[in-house]
Amino acid sequence: MPATAFLEELDAFKDGLIAPLVEAGRSSLSAEAPAGDPARLLQIALANEINVSELAAIWMPSTAELDVKLAFARQTGDEASHCQLVAGRLAQLGLDARSFAAPERGPLFDYLRSLTTTVERVAAGLFTLESVACAVNENFMALCARLGDHETVRIYRDCIQPDERAHQEMGRQLLARYATTPELQQKARDAVARTLSVAAGVRARGAERFGTACVPGC
C-alpha cells in the first residue's frame, strides 16, 4: 500500500481505538462525577514521563537507523524535561519529588520494551502512545481547570502538549519512510492495536483506583 494511503488508514484505525479512552475521560468531567486528586494524578504523570524517557533511551542503542535513533534521543530529552516540569509543580503543591519512588512498570511498558523492530517501536511508541497522551491530556487539563489548578493547565498547554504532538508527528513521518512493505505495514498495525489494547486495560484499572478516567498520559 502506498505510504499516504497506509498512513491515512492507520490514523483512522488508531483514532477509532483511542476514541473510547477519550470518551471515558469526558464522562468523568461531569459535575456528578468524582473529581479525583490532581496532585495524585500528577504523581502518575511523573511516573509515566520517567518510564517513557527510559524506554526511548533503552531503544536508542539497538536502533540502526540514524533518524530514528535521533527521534528517540529527542523523545528521551523531552520526556525528561516533562519530568522536571511535573516535579516542579508537585513541589509547589507541597510534595517533594526527590523522595518519589516510581512504581514498578506495568504491562504496557513491559510490552513496549519487548518490541525489537524499528517499525514496531515507532508505531507503538512515537505514533500511538504519544497520540494517546495528546488525547487524554486534554481531559486532564479540563479536570484541572474545573478544580481551579490553572498552573498545571498552563504547563500542559504550553510545554507538554506541543512536545507530545511533535513526537506523534515524528512517528508518522518515520512510518512513512520505513513501513514500506505489506509485512512491515502489518507489523505497524499490530503494534498500534496491541498498544491500545494494553493501554485501555491499564487506564480502566487506573480510573477505578484514582476515582477518575482523566488520568494524564505521557
Q: What value does the mean pLDDT take over residues 65-86?
A: 97
Closest CA to 167 of 132, 141, 202: 132
Torsion of CA 186, 167, 7, 61, to 10 degrees: -30
Q: How confident is the model at residue 33 (pLDDT cuts 50, 70, 90)?
A: low
pLDDT of 47 higher than 60: yes
Q: In the structure grid, which three cell numbers stand for residue 81, read together?
A: 524535561
Q: Which tops the pLDDT comparison, 16 or 215?
A: 16
Domain boundaries, the chain: 3-210
Q: Which tops the pLDDT comparison, 116 or 37?
A: 116
Q: Which residue type, as a one-letter code, is found at position 62?
A: S
Average pLDDT, the chain: 91
| Pairwise CA distance, residues 54 & 67, whole Å | 19
| Pairwise CA distance, residues 62 & 99, whole Å | 32
Q: What value does the mean pLDDT take over residues 141-170?
A: 95
What's the confidence (pLDDT) of residue 102?
Answer: 63
Could you tell me which CATH number the domain at 3-210 has?
Answer: 1.20.910.10
pLDDT of 155 higher than 70: yes
Q: In the structure grid, which three cell numbers stand for residue 187, read together?
A: 507489523
What's the confidence (pLDDT) of residue 37?
Answer: 80
Q: Which tops the pLDDT comparison, 180 or 218?
A: 180
pLDDT of 101 higher than 70: no
What region, left, alpha or beta, does residue 211 occupy, with left being phi > 0 and alpha being psi -120 to 50 degrees?
A: left
Q: In the structure grid, which three cell numbers stand for residue 164, read together?
A: 507530545
DSSP 157-191: IIIIHHHHHHHHHHHHHHHHHH--SHHHHHHHHHH
pLDDT in tens, 4-26: 899 999 999 999 999 999 998 88
Q: Is the CB of residue 10 less than 8 Å from the CB of residue 188?
A: yes
Q: What value does the mean pLDDT take over residues 111-118?
A: 96
Closest CA to 41 of 167, 105, 137: 137
pLDDT of 35 higher than 70: no
pTM, to two decimals: 0.92
Q: How confident is the model at residue 34 (pLDDT cuts 50, 70, 90)?
A: low
What's the confidence (pLDDT) of residue 142?
Answer: 92
